[in-house]
Amino acid sequence: MKSFEELMGYDEGQREVVILKRWHFGDKEIDDIGEREEKLLVHLLRIRYKEILDEKHRQDKGEVENN
């Protein structure tokens, strides 16, 4: 979660993690997620983090080219 907070800011980072968790596991509490589900959640978070990071790089590159 800390990585998302550093990448997107505290509020947006927290929101992104919670949305991803709810999307895949519904209202299930974090404490109730099993070991296999936890590994899946970590995998999904890594994928989403890379997507957001790539998007930010494209935006930064676009800003440099436009100037």
Segment 33-55 shows an average pLDDT of: 92
Mean pLDDT rounded to a whole number for the chain: 86
**Is 41 exposed, middle or buried (CB count within 10 Å of its CB: 0-12, 13-18, 19+)?**
middle
Query: In the structure, what pLDDT confidence band is assigned to residue 47 with cuts at 50, 70 and 90?
Result: very high
Q: What percent of the chain has pLDDT over 70?
A: 93
Q: What integer pLDDT is reported at residue 35 of this predicted model?
A: 92
Cα separation of 27 and 49, whole Å? Answer: 22
Q: For the segment 24-42, what is each residue's pLDDT rounded down to a tens digit?
A: 888 888 888 899 998 999 9
In the chain, where the domains are located: 2-66
